[in-house]
């Protein structure tokens, strides 16, 4: 693969905060960014050389966009595969179409893990109320019923504790493309964010521990405190998935730590909220690393310069910015979103600590 040299234009599908932070990292390396997003005034647009406002299904707009870019990436996985695949015929799209297709569908994702010999929660495809009853019979209760696609931050899912509640849960999700997952009694949630280069080299920032509130990531502790065996397992699992996908770019793998073993929860084919700490505490941030990978440049060092605790600023929490700016070891990141709606990610703060001295959970 020919490297995409600095000065070239990188296309980013999606204009949210991840696209914004990718664009900032790309600019540091001398690239121009072209943001493609359906919404008006996307956060990434204010820091990009060019913005196209159009739907992800607008093939003419996508073709014009592709013609302006040396390489295209996506900042979220819930975009339709077909038009992106069409675009990939004229410009390299990284990570590839296959990674997009698999990771945007919980069922394909879990089957992919199975094929790689990687453990997940037990699961069943559910397309009807009858199949849900069958899944309950096989997996037991409680279980979690989820839409296969478009779910995020706890949206599109329902926990079913009693068989009587199954029909209502099925009806509420209003889809015949569902997945039932056996309920996992995990100790904690981890993730591994890594990058795989165009040359196949993998560089990982190592496992971190994540705390959620209301199904939304609240805090990431970097590094996670893990014994060597689980740490190696986590790294091995994430690397195996990246290799299986012939992945190029940053990949996030969420894991359940069940004490004696790890289960894959889900993957994200992109930079990830649990990797935001790398912006201030690692030699190379996940955003720069993703740009390096998709441009065919050598990956940078993932060495940790300090320990970090990342905390998301959700909705009105962003109003604490004056206090955060006054904390000497805190690095504040705001996404430039005008309206602080409840549940909306408005920014994050990375609190830095000397190596080995981050507060523990």
| Site residues for a copy of itself per CB under 8 A | 3, 5-7, 20, 23-24, 27-33, 45-49, 283, 292, 297-298, 300-301, 303, 305-306, 321-322, 325-326, 328-329, 331-336, 338, 347, 352
Round to whole Å and give the CA distance between 5 and 30: 9
Q: Which CB, 164 or 339, lies closer to a copy of itself?
A: 339
Supply the minimum distance, in Å, between the C-beta of residue 117 and a copy of itself.
Answer: 33
Quick one: 124 or 292, whose CB is closer to a copy of itself? 292
To the nearest whole angstrom, how small is the minimum distance from the Cβ of residue 204 to a copy of itself? 15
List the beta bridge partners of residue 159: 144
3-state DSSP assignment of residue 265: strand
Residue 300 beta carbon to a copy of itself: minimum distance, rounded to whole angstroms = 7
Of residues 181, 121, 173, the one with CA closest to residue 150: 173
Cα distance between residue 174 and residue 118, in whole Å: 30
CB of 36 to a copy of itself, least distance (A): 16
**Identity of the residue, 160 or 299, whose beta carbon is nearer to a copy of itself in the bound complex:** 299
Pairing of strands 202-213, 216-222: antiparallel
CB of residue 49 to a copy of itself, shortest distance in Å:
4
What whole-number distance in Å separates Cα of residue 298 and Cα of residue 293?
Answer: 7
Task: Indicate the residue among 32 and 124 with the shorter CB distance to a copy of itself.
Answer: 32
What's the rounded Cα separation, in Å, for the pair 180 and 175? 13
Query: Which SS3 state, helix, strand or coil, does residue 79 take?
Result: coil
Shortest Å distance, C-beta 82 to a copy of itself: 31
Whole-angstrom Cα distance, residue 124 to residue 107? 8
The residues near 323 (Cβ < 8 Å, ≥ 6 apart) are none
For a copy of itself, the closer CB: 160 or 297: 297
Residue 46 or 119 with smaller CB distance to a copy of itself: 46
Q: What phi and psi values does residue 309 have, to the nearest 5 degrees?
A: -125, 115
């Amino acid at each position: 693969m020919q490297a995409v040299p600095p000065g070239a234009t990188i296309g980013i599908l999606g204009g949210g905060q991840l696209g914004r932070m990718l664009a900032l990292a790309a600019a540091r390396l001398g690239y121009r960014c072209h943001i493609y997003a359906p919404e008006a005034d996307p956060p990434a647009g204010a820091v990009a050389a060019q913005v196209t406002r159009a739907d992800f299904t607008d093939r003419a707009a996508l073709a014009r966009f592709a013609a302006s870019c040396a390489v295209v990436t996506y900042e979220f996985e819930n975009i339709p595969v077909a038009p992106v695949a069409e675009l990939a015929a004229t410009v390299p799209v990284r990570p590839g179409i296959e990674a997009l297709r698999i990771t945007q569908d919980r069922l394909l994702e879990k089957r992919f893990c199975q094929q790689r010999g990687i453990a997940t929660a037990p699961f069943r495809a559910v397309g009807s109320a009858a199949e849900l009853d069958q899944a309950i019979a096989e997996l037991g209760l409680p279980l979690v019923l989820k839409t296969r696609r478009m779910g995020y931050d706890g949206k599109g899912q329902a926990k079913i504790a009693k068989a009587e509640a199954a029909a209502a849960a099925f009806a509420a999700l209003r889809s015949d493309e569902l997945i039932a997952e056996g309920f996992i009694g995990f100790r904690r949630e981890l993730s591994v964010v890594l990058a795989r280069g165009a040359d196949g080299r993998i560089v990982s920032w190592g496992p971190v521990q994540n705390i959620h509130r209301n199904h939304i990531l609240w805090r990431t502790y970097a590094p996670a405190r893990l014994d060597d065996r689980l740490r190696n397992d986590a790294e091995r699992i994430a690397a195996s998935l990246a290799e299986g996908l012939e992945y190029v770019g940053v990949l996030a793998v969420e894991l359940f730590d069940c004490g004696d073993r790890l289960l894959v929860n889900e993957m994200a084919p992109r930079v990830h909220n649990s990797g935001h700490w790398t912006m201030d505490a690692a030699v190379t941030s996940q955003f720069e690393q993703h740009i390096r990978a998709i441009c065919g440049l050598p990956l940078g060092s993932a060495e940790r310069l300090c320990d970090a605790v990342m905390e998301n600023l959700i909705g009105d929490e962003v109003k604490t910015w004056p206090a955060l700016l006054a904390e000497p070891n805190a690095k504040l990141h705001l996404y430039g979103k005008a309206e602080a709606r409840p549940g909306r990610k408005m920014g994050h703060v990375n609190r830095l600590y000397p190596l080995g001295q981050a507060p523990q959970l």
